[in-house]
Amino acid sequence: HLYRSALLRFADDGTALYEEDGLLATAPDDQGVQRVHAAGAWRALAPLYLPQASQPVTHWPGRIIAPGFVDMHVHYPQLDVIGSPAEGLLPWLENYTFPHESRFADAGYAAGVAGFFLDELQRNGVTTALTFATSHPGSVDALMAQAQARRLRLIAGKVLQDRHSPDGVRDATEQSLIDTEALIQRWHGKGRLGYAITPRFAPTSTPQQLSGAGALAARYPDVWVQSHVAENQQEIRWAQELFPGTRSYLDVYARVGLLRVRAVYAHCIHFDDEDRAAMRESGAVAAVCPTSNLFLGSGQFDFAGADRMGFGYGLASDVGGGTSFSPFHTMLAAYYVGREGQTKTGLSLAPQRLWWLHTAGAARALGLDGVVGNLQPGCEADFVVLNPAATPLLARRTAGAAHLDELLFAMIVLGDDRLIERTVIA
């Protein structure tokens, strides 16, 4: 296919590349997945592609083609607990989240929510997500089957939680590991799907379950691992009581082999430099969830500390602790948090960096560099079509933007699902 429109993509160093009048050429690979063949200025590429085009050019005047967004951490079963008021993480889990997740024992219920969830991702321009299901294996099947039908690149896993969890969500140690391995074999690498070994967080797993998860992580090195760490002070104290003799909360995961490449830890707020170094050395990465951290009052991710110690991270919604599926809302919240943590003047998180952290940067953190999150040649062609005139104020503010950073920032600050005119899946 050939598309003509303004075009946003990223260089390897994270710099945004922008064409006012761009051309995106895609072609299917052996699996029938559309991949980017070329992306650049219309003037340069049209003479090469037009003569051999078999279909008319799709022209979207006044629109911007941009990479689909990558959400590094979200809970599909939690869309019905968004905005539940509670005094912090642990009461929120106990009073809202666990009771709600118990409903996913019903496969029909899970399928209904899974469909709604995938629609919502698409409406918001999110084309790849790393998502928690619930502890019920059928909750994974419900989501994966629908993601496969939509040909989405999606990664998900069954939650492991064999203690300190109520009836209805608590699983059984040995069976939970058997179920996890069966789900890996059923879904990992099927089309564009991936599996993630998913211990909920250290306090709700026995040491046996965590060790079993670590053993699976070693046996299946290209499967992802996802969990939560160092989100909330009360949670950290609890983890330290339950795992005496560990250096830190993160160390609980390190000791069982759950810190590795393709391990994604949500939050990573209350870290010291030894934790940050352990992330860097192991290749594990952080999913930064600013709307969730602000909503639950958990604390704030230290962007400067992460950069100083050099571990990888990207942005995530963490719905339903997070308050929005919209990548624009998440980027804006990240900006507030990054700004707050900064003592000197200047923009810690410039607009291009925010956007990169939710697209190509997030893809890189997931080990999907050059696969999704960008529109460079070879990437799978998952993209959004932005309408910068979607609302009167957006139209006015983006028309008045003097350069690319102003344009991107106007969309980050004023944008929501209305800015996403369409989402195209490769």
Binding site for Fe ion (CB under 5 A): 266, 318
- Amino acid at the residue 190: K
Record the tokens describing residue 28, joined without a space: 């299917």
Q: What does 100 bind: Fe ion, ligand GUN, none (CB cut-off 5 to 8 Å by kind)?
A: none
Alpha-carbon radius of gyration of the chain: 21
Residue closer to Fe ion by CB (options 65, 266) is 266
List, in order, residues 6 or more apart from 176 with CB less than 8 Å away.
135, 158, 160, 162, 209, 212
In whole angstroms, the minimum distance from the beta carbon of 331 to Fe ion comes to: 18
In whole angstroms, the minimum distance from the beta carbon of 267 to ligand GUN comes to: 7
Q: What does 201 bind: ligand GUN, Fe ion, none (CB cut-off 5 to 8 Å by kind)?
A: ligand GUN
Q: What does 97 bind: ligand GUN, Fe ion, none (CB cut-off 5 to 8 Å by kind)?
A: ligand GUN
Q: What does 93 bind: ligand GUN, Fe ion, none (CB cut-off 5 to 8 Å by kind)?
A: ligand GUN
Rule CB under 6 A: choose which of 34, 97, 205, 209 binds ligand GUN. 97
3-state secondary structure of 246: coil
Binding-site size, ligand GUN (CB under 6 A) = 11
Contact string (CB under 6 A) for ligand GUN, positions 309-328, x = contact: ---------x--x-------
Scan residues 46-75 and list those touching ligand GUN (CB under 6 A): 75
Residue closer to ligand GUN by CB (options 141, 318) is 318
Q: What does 188 bind: ligand GUN, Fe ion, none (CB cut-off 5 to 8 Å by kind)?
A: none
DSSP string, 269-323: -S--HHHHHHHHHHT-EEEE-HHHHHHHT-----HHHHHHHT-EEEE---BTTBS
Query: What is d(CA 226, CA 211) in angstroms, rounded to the nearest whole number?
Result: 15
Query: What is d(CA 216, CA 2) in angstroms, rounded to the nearest whole number?
Result: 43
Tell me which stretch binds ligand GUN (CB under 6 A): 63-71, 89-97, 149-157, 324-332: 89-97
Cβ atoms of 17 and 11 closer than 8 Å: yes
Give the residue nearest to ligand GUN (CB): 321
In the block, residue with structure tokens 């598309």 = 3
Residue closer to Fe ion by CB (options 69, 265) is 265
Residue closer to ligand GUN by CB (options 265, 355) is 265
In whole angstroms, the minimum distance from the beta carbon of 234 to ligand GUN comes to: 11
Query: What is d(CA 104, CA 313) in angstroms, rounded to the nearest whole number?
Result: 30
Crossing angle (nearest 10°) for helices 327-340 and 404-414: 110
Record the tokens describing residue 336, joined without a space: 């507030």
Rule CB under 6 A: choose which of 45, 46, 65, 89 binds ligand GUN. 89
List of residues contacting ligand GUN (CB under 6 A) = 75, 89, 93, 97, 200-201, 228, 231, 292, 318, 321
